[in-house]
Amino acid sequence: MANVTIYHNPRCSKSRQTLALLREHDIEPEVVEYLETPPSASRLKSLLKQLGLRAADVIRRKEAPFKELGLSEKLDDDDALIAAMVDHPVLIERPIVVRGRKARLGRPPEKVLELLD
């Protein structure tokens, strides 16, 4: 099986559930604690392409930086949202699981099982 990576926040219950689900399927992913090691803008763009989503689809709108930076006015500007997520990784929806050229957002955690087929 191709390597699996999870962009993980250990304080997030969905992220913990997704990691546990992968391990239940005998997959020990590379764990990237993205709050400690944020992805670059180019990596975020790549993840979005793999997810088939836009930046507005993976930005956490209830986090303080979203409001403080006025990002509700920039939801059509992927570059502005990506820059905000790089500077404030708490804005990145989690977890994101990557296998090969595909990725899934673990909301709900079972969505990542689509990568295991």
- Domain edges within the chain: 4-116
pTM attached to this predicted model:
0.94
Pick from 21, 46, 43: nearest CA to 34:
43
Question: In terms of pLDDT, which residue wins out, 75 or 116?
Answer: 75
Render pLDDT for 4-45 as a digit per residue (tens, 0 to 9): 999 999 999 999 999 999 999 999 999 999 999 999 999 999
Residue in this structure with the two tokens 């709900």, named with its chain if needed: 108
Active-site position among 4, 8, 12, 77: 12
Mean pLDDT of the chain: 96
Tell me the percentage of the chain whose pLDDT exceeds 70.
Answer: 98
Residue 18 contacts residue 116 (beta carbons within 8 Å):
no
Burial class of 89 by CB neighbour count within 10 A (0 to 12, 13 to 18, 19+): buried
6 is known as an active-site residue: no
What is the pLDDT confidence band of residue 2, given thresholds at 50, 70 and 90?
low
Class of domain 4-116: alpha beta
Q: Which residues partner with 5 through β-bridges?
A: 30, 98
